[in-house]
Chains A and B, each alone.
Chain A
Amino acid sequence: MHAVSFRSAATPPASTSRRGALRLPALLILLAAGVLAPAGIACRDDRAPAGSAADEQVFRFRLREDPPTLDPAMTSDNLSEAITANVFRGLVQLDPETLTIVPAVAAAWEISPDHLTYTFTLRDDVIFHNGRRLTADDVVYSFTRLLDPAVNSPRRFVLEPIDGAGPFAEGTSSSVTGLTSPDPHTIRIRLARPYAPFLGLLSMVNAAILPREVYDDPQRGYQRSPVGCGPFLVSRWEQSNLIELRAFDRFYGGRPTIDRIEARIIENLVSALQEYRAGGLDSLDQPPAEDDALYEELKPEIRRYPYIATGYFGFNLAIPPFKGNPALRKAINYAVDKKYLWEILMPGGNIPAHGIIPPGIAGYDPNLPGYPVDLGRARSLLAEAGYPGGRGLAPFTLWSNTSEDNRRIALQIQSDLKRIGVQVTLREADWAAYIPAVEGTAEKPGQAQMFRFGWNLDYPDADAILRPLLYSSNIGPAGNSIRYHNPQVDRLLDEALIATDPQKRAALYREAERIAVMDDAVFLFLNYYESWTLFKPWVKGIVLTPLGEFRIPLERLRIDRSGS
Chain B
Amino acid sequence: MPLLIGAAIVAAFVLCALTAPLLTRAVGFDPYEQVAPRTETPPTAPDRRHLLGTDTSGRDQLSRLIHGSRISLEVGLFAEGIALLIGTALGAFAGYAGGRIDAVLMRLTDLVIALPGPLLALAVIAAVPDPETAPVLRHLPHPSVAVVALVLGGIGWAGIARLARGEILRLRGLEYAAAARAVGARGLRVVVRHLLPNALGPLIVAASLGIGGNILMEAWLSFLGVGARPPLPSWGTMITEGQAYFLSKPWVCVAPGVAILTVVLGFNLLGDGVRDLLDPRRRSAPA
Contacts and interface: CB of A to CB of B under 8 A. Distances in A.
Q: Are A and B genuine complex partners?
A: yes
B222 to A, nearest CB: 11
A99 interface: no
A130 to B, nearest CB: 42
Interface in A405-464: 407-408, 411-412, 414-415, 418, 426-430, 432-433
B130 A291 contact: no
Contacts of A404: 56, 241
- Which of B32, B40, B56, B132: most chain A CB closer than 10 A? B56
A542 interface: no
A340 B37 CA distance: 11
A428 B224 contact: no
Nearest to A1: B244
Interface string B241-274: 1011101110000000000000000000000000
Contacts of B248: 291-293
B33 A408 contact: no
B229 A428 contact: yes
Contacts of B35: 415
A426 B231 contact: yes
Interface residues of B, number: 32
B56 A408 contact: yes
Contact of A36 (B132, B224, B231): B224
Contacts of B122: 36
Nearest to A408: B57
A402 B226 CA distance: 11
Contacts of B226: 35-36
B264 to A, nearest CB: 22
B41 interface: yes
Contact of B34 (A36, A293, A412): A412
A344 B244 contact: no
B249 A411 contact: no
A220 B130 CA distance: 35
A290 interface: yes
A37 B225 contact: yes
Nearest to B226: A35
A289 interface: yes
Interface residues of A, number: 34
Nearest to A295: B248
A337 B39 CA distance: 12
B245 A35 contact: no
B177 to A, nearest CB: 50
Nearest to A406: B230
Interface in B5-39: 32-35, 38-39
A391 B217 CA distance: 44
Contacts of B39: 344
Interface in A319-370: 337, 340, 344-347
B65 to A, nearest CB: 17
A43 interface: no
Nearest to B230: A407
B42 interface: yes
Contacts of A429: 130
A262 B58 CA distance: 39
B263 to A, nearest CB: 25
Nearest to B59: A411
B58 A345 contact: yes
B129 interface: yes
A291 B245 contact: yes
A345 B33 contact: no
A499 B106 CA distance: 79
A537 interface: no
A292 B130 contact: no
Interface string A253-289: 0000000000000000010000000000000000011
Contact of B40 (A290, A344, A412): A344
B57 A411 contact: yes
A432 B122 CA distance: 19
A432 B34 contact: no
Nearest to B38: A340
B129 A432 contact: yes
B34 A414 contact: yes
A412 B245 CA distance: 20
A292 B33 contact: no
A430 B229 CA distance: 11
B41 A292 contact: no
Given A35-B226, A411-B231, A289 B58 contact: no
Contacts of A426: 231
A206 B241 CA distance: 38
- Which of A31, A337, A428: most chain B CB closer than 10 A? A428
A292 B57 contact: no
A290 B41 CA distance: 10
A430 B132 CA distance: 12
A460 to B, nearest CB: 33
Nearest to B39: A344
Contact of A292 (B32, B126, B129, B245): B245
A38 interface: yes
Contacts of A402: 230
Contacts of A432: 129
Contacts of B56: 404, 408
A38 B231 CA distance: 21
Nearest to A347: B41
13 contacts: A36-B225, A37-B224, A291-B249, A344-B40, A402-B230, A404-B56, A404-B241, A408-B56, A408-B57, A411-B32, A415-B33, A426-B231, A427-B132
Given A292-B244, A292-B248, A430-B130, 14 more contacts: A35-B224, A37-B224, A270-B244, A290-B41, A291-B41, A291-B248, A292-B245, A408-B57, A411-B34, A412-B58, A415-B34, A427-B132, A429-B130, A433-B130
Lowest 3 A-B CB distances belong to which pairs? A293-B248, A35-B225, A415-B34
Interface of B: 32-35, 38-42, 56-59, 122, 126, 129-130, 132-133, 224-226, 229-231, 241, 243-245, 247-249
